Every structure is written in C-alpha cells, then in structure tokens.
C-alpha cells in the first residue's frame, strides 16, 4: 500500500502541477508581462507548489527531515537532472537577464539558506519572514523591470499574445483543479514515503532527497522540456532558476512562518546541502565564461553525470 500511495501521490502532483502551470501562464500573459518574468515568477511558483504542499504537510506532521530533504533534493534535481536533461537534448541559449538577475539571486538565496541552517539547524518565524520579504522584493523588481522594458519595446508582445488561448473560466478551472490535485497528492505522497521508509528501514532523509524530491520536480521537468521544445528558452531556464529560488524563499519561508522546522538528520547538513551548493556554483563557469552564451549539450551531460554520482552517494554512503 505504501508504494501505491507514493505513486498515486506523484501522479496527482504531476497532474496538479501541469494544470497549475497552464492556468498560471495564461493568467500571467493577460497581465502583459514578458515570458522571462512568467518563467521566473508565475511558472516557477506554480511548479514549486508540489514542494510547498509536501514540505508544509511534512512539517505539520512532524517530519521535518522530509521538509528540508524535499527542498534540498528538489534544488539538486532541478539543476542536475532537469537542466542537465533539457540542456543535453536541446542546447539552450542563455539570456542576458539570466546572467544579470536569475543565477545571482539563486546563488544568494542558497548561501543565505546555508548560513541560517548552519547557525542553529532550524528555521523559525524571523527567518521565514525574511525569506518571504526577500522573494517579494525580487519578484516585484522583475515585474517592474519587465513592464518598463515592454513600454520601451511595445512591438515585442507576440510571445505573450500566443500564450493566451484559454478563456478565463477554463483558466480558473485549471487553477482550482490543480490546487486540489496538489493537496491530495501531497497527502498521499507523504503517507507513502514515511511508510515506505519505515518498512525498508531507511531514513526519511534518503527517501525525501531521492524519490520525493524527484517526484516533486516532475512539473519543472515537464515545463522545461515543453518550453525548450517550443523555443521558449527564457521560460525553460527562468523556470528552473526561479523554481530553486522559490523552493528556498517561498517553500521554506512560508513553512517556517507557519511552523518552525529543525533538521534532525546530520546527513542533510554534512552531505546534501553541500551538493546543492556545488550544483549552483558549477553553473558559474558554464554561464559566465561561455562566450557563445549557450548552455551546450556537453554541459548538460556533465550535470547529468554529476547527478548520477549524487544519487549513488545517497544509497551508498
């Protein structure tokens, strides 16, 4: 039954994430913001909703290692698995805004989180409020900058117009059904993950940074592959960088505001967070020392191999 609950939860999370992305992109396009901002804000938040529901649910049920493991593992999977696979297949151009805003903010958020968690191994109300305030300020800046750029380049609106293809009623249904699927999916996923971990005598940390985190990263994988296939690379890259930012600042921020969380398993502190930092900063030379400004297939292959090494280290400590 644990495996059935786990798989059913993953299926509902995938469905809910897909519906939420479709509704969110359609709604955001009506607000006349650029596809980069849609990717960095609306799509990122929508694809991070599975992590938010799973992490908050786990915290309220006393499984704080799943809360942290889900976020840390998802951030690793977003870069190593999702960006690695997407880049290995499509070879993605790197936008100027990704270099100026997206990666620096992802790196800053990662370092702030690591500093907070190494200080006392917990996130409480103050840290949560700071995370949410930082995310709000960053999102507001992106939207302001996008609107100002649209005023300076009013002819560049084709991509947004092409996105709008659903009525407001259908968009609302996507959002409502997506949220419901995410809620029940997170319930079943947590129940299945905890039961499976106990039955196999493995830690909740291992389950959360592997099966749970990969499962909650499925929406990011789907959104990035589809966006890259449709030549909307700004959504593809922006979604991944933005999702990692949202995972740290929104998922852990909102969770710790509602219910303070503390790391129990030292493996998260000694192993997983440093893999997360390494995956963020391995992108530094790939993005900034790359004169062609392309994330090439061999770079994607390097990330995939690195993620394979991380996955091996989890089950063979």
Domain map (residue ranges) of the chain: 2-315
Give the relative orientation of helices 233-246 and 103-120 as an angle to the nearest 10 degrees.
20
> Are the CB atoms for 193 and 13 separated by under 8 Å?
no
State both tokens at 219.
Answer: 């929406």
When computed from its CA atoms, the radius of gyration of the chain, rounded to whole angstroms, is 18
> Are the CB atoms for 246 and 110 separated by under 8 Å?
no
> Are the CB atoms for 81 and 214 separated by under 8 Å?
yes
Question: pLDDT value at position 159?
Answer: 45
Residue count (the chain)? 317
Question: pLDDT value at position 7?
Answer: 82
Say which CATH architecture domain 2-315 belongs to: Up-down Bundle (1.20)
Q: Is the dihedral of CA 308, 85, 83, 163 positive or negative?
A: negative
For the whole model, what pTM was predicted? 0.81
Question: pLDDT value at position 160?
Answer: 45
Angle, vertex CA 108, rays to CA 46 and CA 270, nearest 5: 95
**Cα distances (angstroms) measured from residue 117 to each of 112, 136, 252, 281, 293:** 9, 21, 11, 19, 34
Question: pLDDT value at position 158?
Answer: 44
Question: pLDDT value at position 316?
Answer: 81
Question: pLDDT value at position 261?
Answer: 92
Q: Distance between CA 104 and CA 299 in Å, rounded?
A: 19
Low pLDDT (below 70) residues in the chain: 17, 24, 28-44, 46-47, 146-147, 149-166, 219, 223, 230, 232-236
Question: pLDDT value at position 40?
Answer: 59
């Amino acid at each position: 039954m644990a495996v059935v609950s786990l798989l059913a939860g993953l299926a509902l999370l995938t469905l809910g994430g897909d519906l939420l992305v479709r509704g969110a992109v359609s709604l955001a396009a009506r607000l006349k913001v650029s596809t980069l901002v849609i990717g960095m804000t609306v799509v990122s938040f929508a694809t991070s909703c599975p992590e938010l529901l799973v992490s908050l649910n786990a915290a309220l049920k006393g499984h704080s290692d799943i809360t942290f493991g889900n976020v840390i593992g998802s951030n690793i999977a977003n870069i190593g698995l999702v960006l690695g696979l997407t880049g290995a297949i499509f070879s993605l151009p790197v936008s100027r805004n990704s270099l100026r805003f997206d990666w620096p903010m992802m790196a800053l958020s990662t370092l702030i989180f690591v500093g907070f968690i190494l200080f006392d191994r917990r996130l409480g109300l103050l840290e949560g409020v700071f995370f949410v305030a930082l995310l709000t300020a960053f999102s507001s800046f992106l939207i302001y900058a996008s609107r100002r750029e649209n005023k300076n380049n009013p002819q560049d609106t084709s991509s947004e117009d092409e996105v709008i293809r659903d009525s407001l009623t259908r968009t609302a249904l996507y959002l409502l059904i997506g949220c419901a699927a995410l809620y029940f999916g997170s319930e079943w996923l947590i129940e299945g993950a905890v039961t499976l971990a106990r039955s196999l005598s493995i830690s909740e940390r291992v389950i959360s940074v592997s099966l749970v985190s990969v499962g909650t990263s499925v929406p990011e994988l789907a959104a990035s592959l589809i966006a890259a296939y449709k030549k909307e690379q700004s959504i593809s890259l922006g979604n991944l960088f933005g999702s990692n930012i949202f995972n740290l600042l929104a998922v852990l921020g909102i969770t710790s505001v509602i219910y303070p969380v503390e790391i129990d398993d030292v493996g998260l502190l000694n192993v997983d967070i440093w893999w997360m930092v390494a995956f963020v900063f391995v992108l530094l030379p790939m993005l900034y020392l790359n004169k062609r400004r392309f994330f090439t297939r061999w770079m994607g292959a390097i990330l995939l191999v690195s993620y394979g090494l991380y996955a091996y280290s989890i089950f063979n400590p």
